[in-house]
Structure 1
């Protein structure tokens, strides 16, 4: 077994995949990657299915090495830089981390969450069908914990013998307001309050984590009180507690809640929303179901198209690269006499 060894990382670095599906009825949060687009890009570059578990970085980068062999790795998300022994790796490019080399992931520059994928995935036993770490329940991850210095992530040696690849495709970057569908409890708010939600700018507060992002902005008044009978929660629900300041529920959310939910961020915009940093402003735009479904299909189709956009890395003809290749086979001595013709 080849190990990816963690030398340093931030306190909320964890393993995340698609999430823990099918257990919400038992009160188990699905968890999962905050930006599934970036997770898909990193996994595609190393030949994995798009929802394979990877290392998720939150706000900070990290440093790694490998023992027991080489590892084929790729990084995507949040504008993080990747380098091997101090040499930068081009964005949207996979690379072979050779045994004993040091890999460094820089701090996010354009968002919050980034993903380091390893060919073949992380060889850790899943809990309830997923490796995704959930902080409050201590499910998943590495022995029920976030990642820390000294941890070793095993990988399959037979999956590492792959050619470095690059993605010749533009990243799916939506712009404009975060799209929402109103409800399911928009009837707990007056038309004026709903207009306020859709016409005002909100700011991501420092109280933002994998469970939910609290926003600051104009107070959203309730017309029928702020307590309801607890009902089911989905990713992207916008709860409005008694403070009138909305909270967008994210991957580590609870499975039921008792505050009215004025709207829901559509699934296609949830990753874009997750990459907003504290202090960033945003606006909401209401869309109908057909538009939300069409956006979800575009995202699904884009992820499915990624493997077709892979091309081998074109290395520069540096001395280091030439010395790493076998350039001896097939050479001849130009001064040696020509071989006799077999017909002579």
Structure 2
């Protein structure tokens, strides 16, 4: 019997994602990949996986997954309301996130809602036994490639596992939630900032912008003050990098994300610093942001600092107790008493 996770109730928009399909934009293939690469990397590290192992990106509401393996180690990272049904007929018991869990055959993991964010992640030790497309398991649903048949998960799907059972070792957890930072989203001007007037650039950098309902893995359309163009709203189509901020004729910015198109014909006023891209991947409609210009050198320093903080977070993983409290098996293995002294009272 092959080891797998079975979807017994589908979520809202759950896809398999790794760190992206790199090197094929010249062929018109978007990178796709995780919206929040930090959370995916931490989930993989908790499972002992390489950073680029594909995991499940949970969009707003996650699935219910039946464990069809002798055992599997999973890790949940992000603000999820997860729970576990340990046996048929049993009530769900809440389980912690930002940690790994050892699950057994027949249990049902209810991934739950993502609270206060748009994405969270589930990784499994060893990863999923699915064929890559162009070197990646990242799902690009618009083209129907990658992941599981190039689409979001549906009820009845089987996600085959690489490992028939969980690797030995203890469960681990983050010592504290990862700090994504707060305040304005940092941007670098360009590559077509000259297509906008000075007043337009000041409007963009000095105004609040609200996430509209038109927000998905392709990009986020923001609502707020219109940005004034200086040379019109059309350019000869050129390449679009992650976090590019297009401004069409209506003057409202669109930040392009993981599933962005490879080229576009609207001028790009700025590009989001790579360290802040995971923050954009967590935004929900209605949330308000500001944009703050920084230099290329400052953006590079922000990314180096983020990478160092990720490594420190991984280095500070702690042993995690099983659901319900004390692990008696591990407790009995410890040498808690190294001697006994008897005292006999004087007659």
Q: Say yes or no: TM over 0.5.
A: yes
Partners of 1:188 and 1:316 lie apart in 2 by 57
Q: CA deviation at 1:303?
A: 2.4
260-269 or 44-53, larger mean C-alpha shift: 44-53
> Structure 2 matches for 1:176-215, cutoff 5 A?
176-215=183-222
Contact kept, 8 Å, 1:169 with 1:309, in 2: the verdict is no
Partners of 1:50 and 1:309 lie apart in 2 by 17
Contact kept, 8 Å, 2:70 with 2:165, in 1: the verdict is no
Structure 2 unmatched runs, 5+: 86-91, 334-347
Contact kept, 8 Å, 2:59 with 2:120, in 1: the verdict is yes
Structure 1 unmatched runs, 5+: 329-344
CA RMSD of aligned residues (A): 2.0
State which of 274, 286, 295 in structure 2 corresponds to 1:279.
286
Runs of 4+ in 1 over 4 A off after TM superposition: 315-319, 324-328
State which of 256, 269, 276 in structure 1 corresponds to 2:276.
269
Counterpart secondary structure, 1:94: strand
Equivalent residue number for residue 250 of structure 2: 243
Equivalent residue number for residue 9 of structure 2: 8
- Inter-CA distance 315–274: structure 2 relative to 1 (3 Å threshold): closer
Q: CA deviation at 1:326?
A: 10
State TM-score, norm by structure 1: 0.90
- Inter-CA distance 314–123: structure 2 relative to 1 (3 Å threshold): same
Equivalent residue number for residue 129 of structure 1: 135
Contact kept, 8 Å, 2:71 with 2:166, in 1: the verdict is no
Q: CA deviation at 1:168?
A: 1.7
Q: CA deviation at 1:317?
A: 8.0
Partners of 2:325 and 2:170 lie apart in 1 by 18
Counterpart secondary structure, 1:103: strand
173-182 or 62-71, larger mean C-alpha shift: 62-71
Q: CA deviation at 1:325?
A: 7.6
Once the two structures are superposed, what CA deviation does each residue of 1:295-333 show, in whole Å capped at 9, x if it has no partner? 1111222223343212222458869x54x78969xxxxx
Q: CA deviation at 1:280?
A: 0.7
Partners of 1:273 and 1:304 lie apart in 2 by 21
Q: CA deviation at 1:201?
A: 0.3
- Inter-CA distance 317–172: structure 2 relative to 1 (3 Å threshold): closer
Equivalent residue number for residue 68 of structure 1: 69
144-153 or 111-120, larger mean C-alpha shift: 144-153
- Inter-CA distance 190–5: structure 2 relative to 1 (3 Å threshold): same
Contact kept, 8 Å, 2:69 with 2:165, in 1: the verdict is no
- Inter-CA distance 325–314: structure 2 relative to 1 (3 Å threshold): closer
Counterpart secondary structure, 1:96: strand
43-52 or 284-293, larger mean C-alpha shift: 43-52
Contact kept, 8 Å, 2:69 with 2:104, in 1: the verdict is no
Aligned positions, number: 326
Partners of 2:249 and 2:324 lie apart in 1 by 63
Partners of 2:64 and 2:148 lie apart in 1 by 17
- Inter-CA distance 103–316: structure 2 relative to 1 (3 Å threshold): closer
1:42 lines up with 2:48 in the alignment: no
Counterpart secondary structure, 2:186: strand
Once the two structures are superposed, what CA deviation does each residue of 1:235-259 show, in whole Å capped at 9, x if it has no partner? 1000001111110001000000000
- Inter-CA distance 13–20: structure 2 relative to 1 (3 Å threshold): same
State which of 292, 305, 308 in structure 1 corresponds to 2:312.
305
100-109 or 253-262, larger mean C-alpha shift: 100-109
Contact kept, 8 Å, 1:84 with 1:97, in 2: the verdict is no
Counterpart secondary structure, 2:203: helix
Equivalent residue number for residue 28 of structure 2: 27
Counterpart secondary structure, 2:152: coil
State which of 96, 99, 111 in structure 2 corresponds to 1:93.
99
- Inter-CA distance 6–313: structure 2 relative to 1 (3 Å threshold): same
- Inter-CA distance 189–158: structure 2 relative to 1 (3 Å threshold): same
Partners of 1:254 and 1:83 lie apart in 2 by 37
- Inter-CA distance 198–57: structure 2 relative to 1 (3 Å threshold): same
Partners of 1:211 and 1:240 lie apart in 2 by 15
Counterpart secondary structure, 2:146: coil
